[in-house]
C-alpha cells in the first residue's frame, strides 16, 4: 500500500450489521447473559431490536421475551445464531 493512502476494510461494522438484519443472531450481554432472536434493527449507538427473543442458559432456551430493545452499551458481541 502506498504511503499516505488510507486502507478501507471490505466490510465495515455497519455493513456487517446491515447484512445480519432479518436473520437470527446470538447476543451476549454484560453479566454473561445470552439472548437469541431475529435481528430487526439497530442505530448508531448499537442499540438493537430483537424479535422472537429468548434468553439462553447453557445453550438451551430458558425464557421467551418476544420483541426487546437492547441498549448498545450492554452488548458484548453479536454473532450469527
Is the pLDDT at 61 greater than 80? The verdict is: yes
Question: Residue 2: pLDDT band by 50, 70, 90 thresholds?
Answer: low
**Residue 33 domain-assigned (yes or no):** yes
Alpha carbon dihedral 41, 39, 22, 36, in 10-degree steps, equals -170
Q: Give the pLDDT confidence of 5-41 residue by residue, as tens digits.
A: 555 556 788 999 999 999 999 999 999 999 999 999 9
Q: For residue 1, what pLDDT is reported? A: 47
pTM over 0.85: no
**Average pLDDT value for residue range 52-81:** 96
3-state secondary structure of 1: coil
Q: How confident is the model at residue 73 (pLDDT cuts 50, 70, 90)?
A: very high
Q: What domain count does the chain have?
A: 1
> How far lies 5's CA from each of 1, 2, 12, 13, 38, in Å?
7, 6, 17, 21, 39
CATH of the domain at 41: 2.30.30.100
16 lies in some domain: no
Amino acid at each position: 500500500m502506498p504511503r499516505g493512502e488510507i486502507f478501507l476494510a471490505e466490510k465495515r461494522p455497519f455493513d456487517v450489521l446491515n447484512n445480519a438484519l432479518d436473520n437470527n443472531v446470538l447476543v451476549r450481554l454484560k453479566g454473561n447473559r445470552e439472548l437469541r432472536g431475529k435481528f430487526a434493527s439497530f442505530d448508531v449507538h448499537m442499540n438493537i431490536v430483537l424479535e422472537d427473543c429468548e434468553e439462553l442458559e447453557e445453550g438451551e432456551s430458558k425464557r421467551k421475551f418476544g420483541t426487546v430493545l437492547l441498549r448498545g452499551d450492554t452488548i458484548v458481541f453479536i454473532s450469527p445464531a
